[in-house]
Structure 1
Amino acid sequence: MFDTAVLLSAAFVAGALNAVAGGGSFLTLPALVYAGVPPVAANATGTVALLPGYIAGAWGFREDTAPPPGLSMRLIVALSLVGGAAGAALLLLTPDATFRRVVPWLLLAATALFAFGPQLRARLAGTGAPSRTRAVVGVLAVAGYGGYFNGGLGILLLALFGLLGQTQLNAMNGLKNWVSALLTAIAVAIYAAGGLVHWPEALMMMVAATLGGYGGARVARRIPAQWLRAGIVATGLTMAALFFARG
């Protein structure tokens, strides 16, 4: 009974966190490991559980969602699906020890990129807008990361969209949730085919994550942008520090 309460609580807060800042997998991963699920399977199972939350979060930001300059929604959909599939396939081949080592570094890099995104954009302003090729490669790479490990995906997507010229944080958050939902959907199919998903835990957590995702998105639309940005950076640094400690 206590394990069930832990999993439901982690999924609800993770759904809200993913709708706003990303990083919900940091909550679902340790909760599932605590409940006895092996780490790589816990990552896959937690990702499955958060899929409805991404969809709910995207719907919550539906009035604001817009792609960055130079990219269409159709292209973003295609890149999300291809990258998510590649990352999920890579996870199937990754040993637990390797998985533990790379995660904190990925989180730290994503947080730093988001934190210093405005300064980077200012420095790049004189060089012109990012080329379409670089934008495509960037979205594809981040989608691959998301298919491999969901933790910090939202922070990395926000950083990428900022560097690509998107300036409205709510628009970035809406697109972040749509991309996360798309790449997670294809990754879930691959995780399931590979036998990584613990379905009883995943299905139970889906309900809580969905409620948290929609609620988090609606609340975030009323939070001042500077507060939201500070909260996202703090979330990323906390996740990275705790994963380093766990390693």
Structure 2
Amino acid sequence: MNGGLPLDAVWLVTGAAALGAGVLNAIAGGGSFLTFPALVFAGVPPLAANATSAMAVSPGYLGSSWGFKAEIQALPTHTLRREVSVAAIGGLIGAGLLLVTPARLFSGLVPWLLLLATLLFAAGPWIARRGSGLGHPTWRLPGLLAVAIYGGYFNGGLGILLMALYTLTGEPRLNTVNALKNLNSFVLSLLSVAAFAAAGAIVWPQALWMMTLATAGGWLGARLAKRLPVRWVRWLVISTGLVMSAVFFSRL
């Protein structure tokens, strides 16, 4: 299970990845670009690594949502209920799809999924400026459902896609985008993780260890998100996504 690494190195690598993922998810998304590769590097099979990674980062979403409590409370209650419901349904659908996907097929899809998420995040602001009609709210919920299905299927890049979605649908406030991203990520991840746990797809020792550190990272990241320049955050996420995509393409 440890891929040839000493046991203490496995705990160090996965713990550091989880802490960094919690910070990154709270700031701009993309934390699973750290946890998923760390688990694969530690010897966990890709499908189980994806399920375990989803569980590891899910409490971090709760911690970072708490950090954006003021932004969440400022939103209309009916909007929150509607979006949370859509995210929950999509998360369950995506988890179900993952559980019936052959492991070999999933391994081949991983680098493409990582690259797609990174490119969409990088292009989000440009598309929002160029696409004058894209910000209409009529496709915000269908878009959220699609992203939630993706997130239930493959947690890597979920936050990036949610931020791209809210950018494309005309939300101008970065802190509000982060608040919605974290809240919906927590809801859909919670339900998809429950499905993974019921199916026996989670490696529990690493999951519990990483959950603790990801939660601490989420709290820390929410505080940093309001202080760091937006440009730095965007380039950090894009760079991480491109590097991880290249690593997984090299493994095909």
TM normalised by structure 1 equals 0.91
Range with bigger deviation, 164-173 or 102-111: 102-111
The question of whether the paired residues in 2 share the 8 Å contact of 1:48 and 1:188 is answered with yes
Q: Distance in 1 between matches of 2:73 and 2:130?
A: 24
Query: Paired residue for 2:136, among 130, 147, 157?
Result: 130
CA distance in 1, matches of 2:97, 2:74: 27
1:7 aligns with 2:14: yes
Superposed displacement of residue 7, structure 1 = 1.7
**Deviation for aligned residue 1:144:** 0.5
Counterpart residue number, 1:80 = 87
Corresponding position of 2:3? none
| Match in the other structure for 2:210 | 205
Aligned pair partner of 1:234 in 229, 235, 239? 239
Superposed CA offset, 1:23-52 (max 9, x none): 222222232233332211111011111111
Partner of 1:28: 35
**Shift in alpha-carbon separation, 1:128–1:161, aligned structure 2, 3 A:** closer
Quote how far apart the aligned CAs of 1:241 are: 2.1
Alignment of 1:1-247 (within 5 A): 1-65=8-72, 72-125=79-132, 127=133, 129-132=135-138, 134-247=139-252
Is residue 12–residue 212 contact of structure 1 (8 Å, CA) maintained in 2? Answer: yes
Report SS of the residue matched to 1:59. helix
1:223-247 deviation line (CA, Å, top 9, x unaligned)? 1222222323223222322222232
Structure 1: distance between partners of 2:129 and 2:242: 23
Task: Supply the distance in 2 between the matched residues of 1:68 and 1:121 (Cα, whole angstroms).
Answer: 22
CA–CA distance in structure 1, aligned partners of residues 229 and 134 of structure 2: 29
Coordinate RMSD, CA, aligned = 2.1
Deviations 1:183-237 (A, max 9, x none): 0000011001111011122111111111111101111110122222232322322
- Structure 2 residues without counterparts, runs of 5 or longer: 1-7
* Most deviating of 115-124 and 81-90: 115-124
Q: Which amino acid aligns with 1:108?
A: L
- Structure 1 stretches of 5 or more lacking a match? none
TM-score (norm 2): 0.89
- Residues 128 and 87 of structure 1: CA distance in aligned 2, closer, same or farther (over 3 Å): closer
Q: Percent same amino acid at aligned positions?
A: 51
Report the counterpart of residue 4 of structure 2 in structure 1: none
> Given that residues 68 and 166 in structure 1 are in contact (C-alpha distance below 8 angstroms), is that contact kept between their aligned partners in structure 2?
no
**Matched residue type, 2:49:** A
